[in-house]
Amino acid sequence: MAGLSLEGKPWYVGLIIGLVLAIAIIWGANYAVIGGIDDQIRSADATLKDLDTKIEQGRSAQRSCAASCLRRATPKKSSRRSRPSSMPGTSRYAS
């Protein structure tokens, strides 16, 4: 193990080795643990977006159906004009 000693080497060599080891540990943890979770999150986001689209389509169809059902339910006004029951100054049942 004489080749692995940092004795007699400048301080920055130990710093470089420490940084390389830290980066390797962080990358390994990301690859092993966080990568799978990140994929699950992306998949769930895509599913959520699809469901939001379907919900919005359903709401639009509901508004459209409600509007058309409302038009059918209201009675149509007669195109004939109604006559006034009496004209001013005259009686319908004149004697």
Q: Residue 94's Cα: distance from chain center in Å?
A: 73
State the pTM of this model. Answer: 0.47
Q: Are 85 and 92 in contact (CB under 8 A)?
A: yes
pLDDT digits (tens, 9 = 90+) for 27-60: 999 998 888 899 999 999 999 999 999 999 999 9
Take residue 25 and report the two structure tokens written for it: 């540990």
pLDDT digits (tens, 9 = 90+) for 76-91: 665 555 555 555 665 5
Number of H helices, E strands in the chain: 2, 0
Say how far apart CA 8 and CA 10 lie, in whole Å.
7
Say how far apart CA 34 and CA 25 lie, in whole Å.
13
